[in-house]
Structure 1
Amino acid sequence: MTYLDYQSTTPLAPEAFEAMLPWLRDQHANPHSPHREGRRARAAVEVARDQVAALLPPGGRLAFTSGATEALNWAIKGAPESRWGGPIVTLATEHAAVLDTVAASGRPATVLPIGADGLVDLAQAATAIRPGTGLVAAMLVNNEIGVIQPIAELAALAHEAGALLLCDAVQGYGRVPIPDGCDLVAISAHKVHGPKGVGGLWIRDGVKLAPLLHGGGQEEPGRSGTLSPALCAGFGIAARLMAERADDDASHIARLFAAARDRLGPDWILNGSSDLRYRGNLNIRRAGLDVARVMSDQRDLAFSSGSACASGSGRPSHVLRAIGLSDTDARSSIRLGFGRYTTEHELLAAIDRIRAAADIQRIAA
């Protein structure tokens, strides 16, 4: 199996697995218990918290959550009505965890369109983010097309209007600097070679959120639930590796991206900006391509299509439609996601097979 779906989830780093193992096999204390073993477990959680927070802006507190979906729900639903409960401004290309939560919040919302390059128009954003706005929610790196939004500029507009800036940094954490102007930042371990089932919400000092989950209030900002030392430890090591390997990972991914674009040739069109993007995401289309057929014929290649992967509905991606693609072009798009553990040989071999399958389709047509 050749795995090219890094935006969906990343392979677990061996070092993260080893860090988790003792807490799964030998050490089972509750990190919220006051006895010695509980305190040892709590210490492991706090070490992990520091490791994860090292890649986040200064001046805030990281609360561990079950993942980014919980973190985003908490950020959107937890803003107190007294100060930050006003209308929400977000982007048409946000993840469903943002768009659906905004819709469910019952608060007035403006969903800004984006251009053919996948980027928000800052002039339109400035018009929409008015005094009285409570929250601006934007994704740092888009999960489907990889474009990098101008988060720092959006944060400045939000603060000028008296609003908070929520950054969905799930795809960008550890890869793209997170601007200091953010007030809330959602992250997830399994996108950075950590385990599934743990994420976090970074909350700037002075920002108070109402609880999303009620109970014991184990996490200081107000999140209830028993933490898993194993998951936290795995997240911590994964984050440490993202920091330590940042330059090597970035160089490797840039080489893979360039080699892939060269091998694909001019028949394949890049979806989204070619410059303002994370290069571990290659979202491309070829006219007339039946992606579902390619995926069926090449079952030992793991990659994503231009249809909504979350629901399995087969409907074209809302992100691809938002950048102006027709349903036909969206269904002719594929997303190749690669990273630290992808070799150039396996990526190019996979591309050769996808190209060959596309050529066969064209001849048959």
Structure 2
Amino acid sequence: MTQHSDILIVGAGILGLSHAYAAARRGLKVSVFERSETPLGASVRNFGQALVTGQPPGPMLELAKASRDIWGQWAQLAGLQLKRNGSYLFARTEAEEDLLEAFCAGRAVEHDYRVDLLRGSALRDLYGGQFRHHRAALHGLEDQQLYSREAIPALIDYLRRELGVEFHFSTLVRDIEPGRVHSTAGVFSAGQIIVCSGHDYQTLLAGPIAELNPQVCRLQMLRARPQVNLNLQHALLTGLSCVHYGAFADLPEAAAVQAQIVRETPYLHENGIHLLISPTPYGELIIGDSHHYGNDASPFNAEQVDDYMIELAEQTLGCKIKVVERWQGVYGSRGPAPFSFLRPAGGLSAALMHSGVGMSVGPAMAERNVAILLGE
């Protein structure tokens, strides 16, 4: 027997859950399908960094700021642990410091990035002098950090318990057509069907997705314990991130940073390594990451890449670390834009990320997409 909802959503990652929230808070009946017993994709393999500071000016920055507000709402409604005290991006070299100076003097003012540049005594006082070996630190005041492994299940519990969203886990959606979903749990119908399938480009809507020429990015990730009690309460980045994130990468001063990386540490450039560190609620650190692109994600990790990241982390933290867990992150990447909304047929759509910032912009992306689909 066909079961009916107002909106059917395929995928329980951050994009799928964000669409479910946007629809359910409007009073619509929502059903979500996820092939695994619990979400296992990019949304739980990441750092949990919801960054505003790194987004390029324009739509991505606007989405990140709007998403920040939604995360704040979720923290209250669903009881998420959310650190809202920002991030620190450390300049290790003169070129990186020059880039941060130029960003603060120009783009940050023009586009209202809320940042502070710490140097001198302010930097020396940070965490009792633990990071005084850097030249400067950019404090991104609007950046947030959460523990994805706990935040995603907490959001699911809230959506189910308080907003009546129906979840079908361990359920594979085999096929879709306008108004109808065929799954291992039966046939479901709805006026709107939204596919949020992450980096799975083959199971559903393979034809329209293939026209985007998307790729997959695989990342090597670590969880480690610092060998001193840092009590870290902020997400950390280094100047390596300045050539990766759009807020900085196209500034003229970024060319010198990129040239120095290629000249002095070409292995970091070749493996797409830019250091990110996120504290967990349990005193551990999530550390990464590398970037390798292709049509499929190789299952084989290179120990040397992990060694590069461990060395960078220890240099940044000023202490030794002990690795307690390793895994591979995977996300959809390198499409025609940072994200895509496909409308292959009436009442049938897909929302795809082509970059690793779904946690940063996904909530607001979904809010705007649902509003459009409903004709608001």
- Shorter chain as denominator, the TM-score bin is under 0.3
Bigger relative CO (Cα 8 Å, ≥ 6 apart) = 2
User: Per residue, is there more strand in 1 or in 2?
Assistant: 2
TM-score for the superposition, normalised by structure 2: 0.26
